[in-house]
Amino acid sequence: MTDPRGNATGADPDDYTTLYTYGAQGLLSTATDPAGHTTTYTYDPAGRLGSVKDPAGRTSSFTYDTAGRLTKSTNPAGKSESRTYDANGNLTSTTDALGNKTTYAYDKANQLISTVSPRGNLTGANAAAFTTSYGYDANGNRTTVTDPTGAVTTTGYDALNRATSITNALNQTTRTTYDGNDNVLTTTDPLGKVTRHTYNNANLLATTTDPLGKTTTYGYDPDGNRTSLTTPLGHRTTWTYDADGRIATEVDPRGNAAGADPAQFTTTYAYDLAGNQTKVTDALGKSTTTSYNAANQLVTSTDELGRITRTDYDVLGRIAKVTSPTTPSPVTPTTRPVTSPHARTPTAIRPPTATTTPDAPPPSPTPRPHQDRRLRPRRKPRHRHQRTRHHRHQHRRRAGSATAIAFSDSTPQITTTYDALGRRKAISDATGTRALSYDTAGRLTAVTPATGKGTYTYGYDDAGQLTSRGIDYTAPQALNWSGTAQTISGDLNNDGYTDVIRTDGTSGIRTYLGRPDGTFTTSANITGTGTGFQQIFTSEYTGDGKLDLLAIDKTSGHLLRYNGNGTGGFAAPFDLGAGWAPMTLSTGDFNKDGKQDFLAISSTANRLYLYPGNGTGGFSARTDLGGAGHLPHQPSRIHRRRNSTSSPSTPPPTAFISTLATGPVGSPPAPTWAAAGAPCT
């Protein structure tokens, strides 16, 4: 047999030809691929496949009972899988190459009524703890599935044996209706929200209207290929196809807008004669190309920069090495051993899951150009770092789900519990236990962190789209916040999270360090009880990259500076002088020299003063800016460091300060500095 590439003009047919030979019974004896690799087949007298020898010379063998049913298959390593049957030909057990045995039972109508997983077939095991059971109606429709935990899923049917309802273990029901052609018309979720579908004369999905009344529309060509998808906002994506029904072009919504040039927003696809996709060119004209061997296996992939990745295979068609553009030496991947062609359990007796049945209503159609259902690749979990992990599985609450992960190093064990539907209910690790909650539609609605101080909440619209996220804060912070005179914020410990500093005017200054979940640590009093402050400010006054604190003592009128240590604490106060009680202060880099200054307005003299900072925690002699204006009682800062702010955020405008600077200069009483009235250093 020669594939289309071998029949192209100028091609050598032998490069794409597979040769077959047959025995006296007309049964296939050998198959030799274009690379010269031969697979050999033998049969028993009844014409049943007895053995297969692969191109590497490895042999798999198969045996049968007198009824011609496969009873044993042995792989090239000598490992065997076996099957047994009852008198009616129903498969009653399968034992894999590792000795794991699964058993099946049937009713008088030869309908599967129970499956016992391998752990239930171990010596001394309680089989009931590992049994999934099935129930049927008079028409043979599967109506119930009971998993090993006792959770029951029930399916209802109409007179035409179409699944019309599915009720899960929490008694939450999803309902489905159909038209006369068995197309799904409506799907009603457990919350009563309805999604509706319409179809064209060819029974192809034409529209989908979600519970919010928003409609998505689909278009097709005469061959049934989807050619357009229009979202509820009117954004239209279009596709064209080649003669073999493969996507040739895709134009995104911007190219379909009125007045747009579609060519500027078009992705094109090219294929070889065997149907392998060989080139993708994006809207910017950048192309990725791929090539394949005679067995239609990917050989090279060239990105838009011309960098080539090459894959080589062994005689069995398995990946032998991959050479990337940045690693000239081949990387040898892990290869999967070849399995017997008869190793898989037939679909008819494959154990069903606890939440689905073969007759369940199909999911709501989703917009894809060439598919009616959403197909997504499964992602492999990402591990924190390489180490051995041991999984322990529970046998009651959630069949087959990992309930514990133990690490070979000192990492604490992680445990998980599940609800009746198999959803994670709680996760425990070294930090504590996180709790998860769901609504009737099965959507995650809340996560309570291990600290228990604050719950993350999620809200959805009727179409199931996430509409809100938030934190419900309920945990007290070890202090009554009523009577708070002032709060300011900043990153006191340089961990990237905003911290809070608070004073109520009578009981000192307290700090609360921010946590990643939006909550705070319990308070720390940095000044001692019984000390009252009328104003507090925070900024980098000493120039060491750590937030410091300025505070006016309410009783003495002294201005105090607390140097921050960068970990959330402060040094003992440095007294900057007395006479500050009538002053209202605001801090910031007002003269643009990169050092923090502060403005002060005297409530007794009605004058504004600028105290320039020297960058080491001290301030130069004041400059009188005039005798008019107003600063709010609560201070604010102009210069911000990371998340640092003061409340309220109403700094005096630059124009205001410039105007005052030209006004009359008086000589009101000045606050005294600590060093005999000299500028503080």
Pick the more confident residue, 108 or 558.
Answer: 108
Asked if 482 contacts 496 with a C-beta cutoff of 8 angstroms, the reply is no
According to CATH, what is the number of the domain 486-661? 2.120.10.10
pLDDT for residue 211 is more than 80? yes
CB-based contacts of 468, cutoff 8 Å, min separation 6: 457, 458, 459
- Per-residue pLDDT at 180: 96
**Which one of 357-371, 388-402, 407-421, 487-501 scores highest in mean pLDDT?**
487-501
Asked if 671 contacts 612 with a C-beta cutoff of 8 angstroms, the reply is no
Return the sign of the alpha-carbon dihedral for residues 158, 162, 164, 167: positive
Peptide bond preceding 648 in cis form (omega within 30 of 0): yes
DSSP 661: H
d(CA 165, CA 264): 47
Asked if 428 contacts 177 with a C-beta cutoff of 8 angstroms, the reply is no
**Which one of 163-177, 317-331, 373-387, 428-442 scores highest in mean pLDDT?**
163-177
- Per-residue pLDDT at 602: 82
d(CA 559, CA 623): 18
Asked if 211 contacts 193 with a C-beta cutoff of 8 angstroms, the reply is yes
In DSSP terms, 503 is beta-bridged to 486, 509
pLDDT, mean of residues 60-64:
97
pLDDT for residue 448 is more than 60? yes
Count of other CB atoms within 10 angstroms of residue 607: 23
β-strand pairing of 466-472 with 486-490:
unpaired
Domain definitions of the chain by residue range: 1-76, 79-171, 213-333, 389-462, 486-661
d(CA 398, CA 475): 32
Asked if 86 contacts 362 with a C-beta cutoff of 8 angstroms, the reply is no
Taking the CA atoms of the chain, what radius of gyration do you get in angstroms?
38
CB-based contacts of 123, cutoff 8 Å, min separation 6: none
d(CA 546, CA 611): 21
d(CA 226, CA 250): 11
CB-based contacts of 676, cutoff 8 Å, min separation 6: none
Write the burial class of residue 574 (CB in 10 Å: 0-12 exposed, 13-18 middle, 19+ buried).
Answer: middle
* 110-114, 250-254, 644-648: least confidently modelled range: 644-648
- Per-residue pLDDT at 636: 33
pLDDT for residue 367 is more than 70? no
pLDDT, mean of residues 473-479:
47
Asked if 416 contacts 407 with a C-beta cutoff of 8 angstroms, the reply is no
Q: State percent of the chain over pLDDT 90.
A: 46
Beta strands in 54-160 (DSSP E): 59-64, 70-74, 80-85, 91-95, 101-106, 112-116, 131-136, 142-146, 152-157
Angle at the Cα of 526 (from 524 to 529), degrees rounded to 5?
90
pLDDT for residue 562 is more than 70? yes
**Displacement of CA 363 from its chain's centroid (Å):** 22
Beta strands in 350-408 (DSSP E): 389-393, 402-407
> Over the stretch 567-616, which tens digit does the pLDDT of each residue have?
888 888 888 888 888 888 888 888 888 888 888 888 887 888 888 988 88
DSSP 209: E
In the three-class reduction of DSSP (H, G, I as helix; E, B as strand; rest coil), residue 7 is classed as helix
What type of residue sits at position 84?
A: T
Write the burial class of residue 501 (CB in 10 Å: 0-12 exposed, 13-18 middle, 19+ buried).
Answer: buried
Asked if 643 contacts 498 with a C-beta cutoff of 8 angstroms, the reply is yes
- Per-residue pLDDT at 50: 96
- Per-residue pLDDT at 224: 96
In DSSP terms, 249 is beta-bridged to 240, 268
pLDDT, mean of residues 145-155:
95
> Over the stretch 290-327, which tens digit does the pLDDT of each residue have?
999 999 999 999 999 999 999 999 999 999 999 988 65
> Over the stretch 623-679, which tens digit does the pLDDT of each residue have?
888 764 444 333 333 333 333 333 333 333 232 233 223 222 223 334 444 333 333
pLDDT, mean of residues 23-39:
93
Output the CA torsion 642→647→653→656 (10° steps): -140
The two tokens of residue 16 are: 């794409």
Length of the chain: 681
Query: DSSP labels for 551-591?
Result: EEETTT--EEEE-B-SSS-BPPPEE--S--TTEEEEEE-TT
The model's pTM is 0.58
Q: Categorise residue 456: left if φ over 0, alpha if ψ from -120 to 50, beta otherwise.
A: beta
H/E element, 482: none
pLDDT for residue 374 is more than 90? no
- Per-residue pLDDT at 97: 93
In DSSP terms, 456 is beta-bridged to 447, 471
pLDDT for residue 468 is more than 70? yes
**Displacement of CA 13 from its chain's centroid (Å):** 49
H/E element, 61: strand 59-64
**Which one of 35-44, 499-508, 646-655 scores highest in mean pLDDT?**
35-44
* 7-11, 445-449, 538-542, 601-605: least confidently modelled range: 601-605
Mean pLDDT of the residues in the chain: 79
Q: What is the spatial order of strands in the sheet that 623-626 belongs to? A: 583-588, 597-602, 608-611, 623-626
Q: In degrees rounded to 5, what are phi and psi of residue 629?
A: 110, 180
- Per-residue pLDDT at 330: 54
d(CA 422, CA 399): 8
Pick the more confident residue, 61 or 483.
Answer: 61
pLDDT, mean of residues 135-148:
97
Query: DSSP labels for 259-303?
Result: T--GGGGEEEEEE-TTS-EEEEE-TTS-EEEEEE-TT--EEEEE-
- Per-residue pLDDT at 116: 97
CB-based contacts of 317, cutoff 8 Å, min separation 6: 295, 297
Helix boundaries (H) for 309-444? none
DSSP 140: S
Q: State percent of the chain over pLDDT 70.
A: 76
DSSP 253: G
> Over the stretch 336-358, which tens digit does the pLDDT of each residue have?
333 333 333 333 333 333 333 33
* 71-80, 371-380, 441-450: least confidently modelled range: 371-380
